[in-house]
Amino acid sequence: MIIPLLLVVGVVYFITKGIKNDKAETEFQTVTILKERFARGEISEEEYRRMRNILGE
């Protein structure tokens, strides 16, 4: 009885951990793209700061 319960808890844990990691990776990639656009001069400093604040960094 306890082994199936532990199995279910383990599966749920790894699924939620994977979802959190995907979100963090997506946020990192978004900020990286924003920094690259600023470095290339595609956006101004004001736009960069505004977008960064929107992203919550």
Structure-block tokens of residue 12: 């749920």
Residue 42, pLDDT score: 92
C-alpha distances in Å from residue 49, one per residue of 38, 40, 41: 10, 15, 14
9-35 b/e (C-beta count within 10 Å ≥ 16 → b): eeeeeeeeeeeeeeeeeeeeeeeeebe
Whose structure tokens read 């990691």? 21
Tokens of 28: 């990192």
Question: What are the pLDDT digits (tens) for 3-50?
Answer: 888 888 877 877 777 666 666 677 788 889 999 999 999 989 999 999
Q: What pLDDT is stored for residue 46 in this prediction?
A: 93
